[in-house]
């Protein structure tokens, strides 16, 4: 049985077909333009495939609350062409198959829970640090939905003393994204992160901010594991710095077996940047299960 997966991002739409075990057997990428241009291409791709259900991981904000009127709509996004666009409904009308939906980062978190670094766990935080910072969270085995969905890339941080960069989040200046996403690094140092690999102070500061955020996530949702992905985290030297700094910040306040083994507590993804699309496959699988069709 085949499943469709759509990772709907702000710059590209990744469409794939795969199996319930996470195997991806076909994949294309379509640039994200307006819905009028992009959606027909997506529909045409999936119509040619014999898929039984589709899973969508969408850029946010997106309404993920089933049973509400705007379920599946993109909400108040700065990408104006997509503002209040009925993403799920428009695709469902054409494909006429069950569709599961969540945020892109919750999708990645589900990918990790099902196939990756968090297999078998119930409480997990997945953080992607790239052009922005996205955070997917699972609690008691379920992806977190509430009033909306987690937007924890925007939590406020303390500016480190040595940092005179003002922060570049247009909403909050010095939130995690404003201080630690790729564009913040680039503006602070005038070079791309990848060109700064050997500059020790860059990764000291970057790991300070990421550790601050992780401390907050630990104290709030008590994850059993934290998975870091995204372009910035390809700088592997970050992991040991982050692990050390998280323990320093917690200062012994919480004692658990997990925190005694930081190398398995704060980890990279093992899915080769496929966690998002594999999570979408799982969203499709879970939707079919929920309908009693699997």
Residue of 96, 140, 162, 272 that binds a second copy (CB under 8 A): 140
Residue of 24, 81, 221, 262 that binds a second copy (CB under 8 A): 221
Q: Which region, judged by CB under 8 A, interacts with a second copy, from 12-20, 47-55, 88-96, 137-145?
A: 137-145
Q: List, in order, residues 6 or more apart from 188 with CB less than 8 Å away.
A: 163, 165
Contact 143, 125 (CB under 8 A): no
Burial (Cβ within 10 Å: 0-12, 13-18, ≥19) of residue 71: middle
Between CA 134 and CA 228 the distance in angstroms is 10
User: Looking at beta carbons only, is 41 or 160 nearer to a second copy?
Assistant: 160
Is beta strand 12-18 parallel, antiparallel or unpaired with respect to 99-103?
unpaired
103 binds a second copy (CB under 8 A): no
Question: Mask 231-270, x = binds a second copy (CB under 8 A)?
Answer: ------------------xxxxxxxx-xx-----------
- Length of the chain measured in residues: 294
70 binds a second copy (CB under 8 A): no
What is the Rg, in whole angstroms, of the alpha carbon atoms belonging to the chain? 19
User: In whole angstroms, how close is the CB of 70 to a second copy at the nearest point?
Assistant: 11
User: In whole angstroms, how close is the CB of 168 to a second copy at the nearest point?
Assistant: 14
Q: List, in order, residues 6 or more apart from 254 with CB less than 8 Å away.
A: 218, 219
By 3-state DSSP, what share of the chain in percent is helix, strand and coil, each rounded to 5?
Answer: 40, 20, 35
User: In whole angstroms, how close is the CB of 266 to a second copy at the nearest point?
Assistant: 12
User: Looking at beta carbons only, is 212 or 275 nearer to a second copy?
Assistant: 212
User: Looking at beta carbons only, is 27 or 224 nearer to a second copy?
Assistant: 224
151 binds a second copy (CB under 8 A): yes
User: In whole angstroms, how close is the CB of 286 to a second copy at the nearest point?
Assistant: 14
The SS3 assignment for 76 reads coil
61 binds a second copy (CB under 8 A): yes
145 binds a second copy (CB under 8 A): yes
User: Looking at beta carbons only, is 212 or 269 nearer to a second copy?
Assistant: 212
* 172-211 positions binding a second copy, by CB under 8 A: 172
User: In whole angstroms, how close is the CB of 37 to a second copy at the nearest point?
Assistant: 26
Q: List, in order, residues 6 or more apart from 238 with CB less than 8 Å away.
A: 203, 206, 207, 210, 228, 232
Burial code (b: 16+ CB inside 10 Å, e: under 16) for 166-182 equals ebbbeeeebbbbbbbbb
* 105-134 positions binding a second copy, by CB under 8 A: 122-123
Query: What distance, in Å, lies between the first and last C-alpha atoms of the chain?
Result: 10
155 binds a second copy (CB under 8 A): yes
Between CA 254 and CA 67 the distance in angstroms is 39
The SS3 assignment for 7 reads strand
Residue of 212, 235, 275, 282 that binds a second copy (CB under 8 A): 212
9 binds a second copy (CB under 8 A): no
- The residue ranges that bind a second copy (CB under 8 A) are 61, 75-76, 122-123, 135, 137, 139-140, 142, 144-152, 154-159, 171-172, 212, 215-224, 249-256, 258-259
């Amino acid at each position: 049985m085949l499943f469709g997966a759509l990772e709907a991002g702000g710059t590209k739409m990744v469409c794939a077909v795969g199996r319930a075990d996470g195997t991806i057997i076909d994949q294309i990428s379509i640039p994200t333009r307006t819905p009028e241009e992009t959606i027909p291409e997506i529909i045409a791709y999936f119509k040619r495939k014999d898929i039984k259900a589709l899973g969508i991981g969408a850029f946010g904000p997106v309404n993920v609350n089933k049973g509400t009127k705007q379920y599946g709509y993109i909400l108040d996004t700065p990408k104006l062409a997509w503002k209040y666009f009925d993403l799920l409904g428009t695709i469902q009308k054409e494909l006429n198959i069950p569709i599961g939906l969540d945020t892109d980062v919750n999708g990645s978190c589900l990918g990790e829970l099902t196939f990756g670094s968090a297999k078998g766990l119930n409480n997990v935080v997945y953080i992607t640090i790239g052009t922005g910072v996205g955070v997917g969270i699972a609690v008691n085995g379920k992806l977190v939905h509430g009033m909306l969905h987690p937007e924890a890339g925007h939590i406020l941080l303390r500016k480190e003393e040595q940092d005179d960069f003002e922060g570049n989040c247009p909403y909050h200046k010095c939130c995690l994204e404003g201080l630690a996403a790729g564009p913040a690094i680039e503006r602070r140092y005038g070079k791309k992160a990848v060109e700064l690999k050997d500059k020790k102070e860059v990764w000291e500061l970057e790991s300070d901010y990421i550790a601050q955020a992780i401390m907050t996530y630990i104290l709030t949702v008590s994850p059993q594991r934290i998975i870091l992905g995204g372009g910035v985290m390809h700088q592997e030297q970050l992991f040991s710095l982050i692990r050390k700094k998280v323990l320093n910040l917690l200062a012994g306040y919480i004692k658990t077996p997990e925190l005694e083994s930081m190398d398995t507590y704060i980890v990279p993804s093992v899915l080769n940047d496929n966690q998002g699309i594999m999570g979408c496959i799982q969203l499709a699988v879970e939707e079919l299960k929920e309908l009693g069709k699997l």
